[in-house]
Amino acid sequence: RCGLHTRAIGKNIVALQEVDSTNEEAKRQAQCGAPDGSVFLAERQTGGKGRLGRTWESPAGTGIWFSVLLRPSLVPSEISSITLLAGIAVCRGIRSVTGCAAKLKWPNDVVIGSRKVCGILTEMAAEIERVEYVVLGIGINANTEAFPAKLAEKATSLRIEAGSAFPRAAILRAVLKELESLLLNAKAGSAFQEILDEYKFLCVSLNRRVGFFWNGEQQTGMAVDVSPSGELIVERDGGGRISINAGEVVVQGI
């Protein structure tokens, strides 16, 4: 559909003019049996959600706001690999259409230079032994011409970076194609190390000093690695190596 060269991802595309959040829509549809690979896309979100309980501004016209429903045969501890993989797919897709060198700020902010161009919110429904479904929520600032002053230092768009507007469908298609090829490859098992290596190659947080709130206090250290389960490994200035979980801590480059 729409020139999509994928087999499962996006076979079922639900395009909405307005919705609270495409992640919420994906979860509602998942309960009603929507198939693996369904994509929920909205022109505008009235309750766009970011990570750590934040809101995600989702005006009409310039952004690409969508969620992919996956029903992988994985146990909950393996889901972090899907999150890593989503970030890689967005970087590859952006690069192939725009030429922009998109990178990842741990855990999953897609950045160009030091400014964020895309955010990813992964949610899942799981029991102890079994994952029922995963929702990958992806928000890409595509054709935004300018951001309000207080955001301009932190946020950017593909248009600002490349100097021209892009058809949003082309970006979406490219990201879905990369996502499908990474997911198929990941099933091959041994490919996981390759995925982790690509993630680390794209990750701008590594070998950088970071600040984070941990054990009740503000701390600093050096980000040295990403674990197979997606945690950031930090050498604390105070001594000792710790792993930081994406759901808990805001890490700032310093």
Cite the annotated binding site for biotin by residue number. Answer: 21-23, 45, 116
Cβ distance to ligand BTN smaller for residue 51 or 236? 51
When the beta carbons of 140 and 234 are compared against ligand BTN, the nearer one is 140
The least CB distance from residue 55 to ligand BTN, in Å, is 9
Closer Cβ to ligand BTN, 74 or 246, answer by number = 246
For position 22 contacting ligand BTN by CB under 6 A, the verdict is yes
* Interface with ligand BTN: number of residues (CB under 6 A): 21
Q: How far apart are CA 194 and CA 197, in angstroms?
A: 5
Q: What is the CA radius of gyration of the chain?
A: 18
Minimum distance, C-beta of residue 121 to ligand BTN, in the bound complex (Å): 4
**Amino acid type, 56:** W
67-106 binders of ligand BTN (CB under 6 A): 67
The amino acid at residue 36 is: D
Q: Of the ranges 43-51, 165-173, 207-215, 230-238, which one interacts with ligand BTN (CB under 6 A)?
A: 43-51
Amino acid identity of residue 148, one-letter, is: P
**DSSP per position, 7-68:** SSTTSSEEEEEEES-HHHHHHHHHHTTPPTT-EEEEEEESS-B-GGG-B----TTTEEEEEE
Least distance to ligand BTN from the beta carbon of 226, Å?
18
Pairing of strands 241-244, 232-236: antiparallel
62: left (phi over 0), alpha (psi -120 to 50) or beta: alpha
Assess contact for 60 and 43: CB atoms under 8 A: yes
Residue among 102 and 120 whose Cβ is closer to ligand BTN: 120
Residue of the chain from 137, 160, 172, 198 that contacts ligand BTN (CB under 6 A): 137
Q: Which tokens in the block code for residue 217?
A: 């206090």
Q: Letter for the amino acid at 112?
A: I
Q: Which of 74, 94, 117, 120 binds ligand BTN (CB under 6 A)?
A: 120
> Is the Cβ of residue 55 or residue 193 nearer to ligand BTN in the bound state?
55
Q: Which helix (H) or strand (E) holds 89?
A: helix 80-98
Residues making up the annotated binding site are 21-23, 45, 116
Q: Which residue is nearest to ligand BTN (CB)?
A: 119
CA distance 15 to 9: 14
Work out whether 29 is an interface residue with ligand BTN (CB under 6 A).
Answer: no
Residue 23 found at the interface with ligand BTN (CB under 6 A): yes
Does position 166 interact with ligand BTN (CB under 6 A)? The reply is no
Interface residues toward ligand BTN, by CB under 6 A: 21-23, 45, 48-51, 54, 56, 58, 65-67, 109, 119-121, 137-139
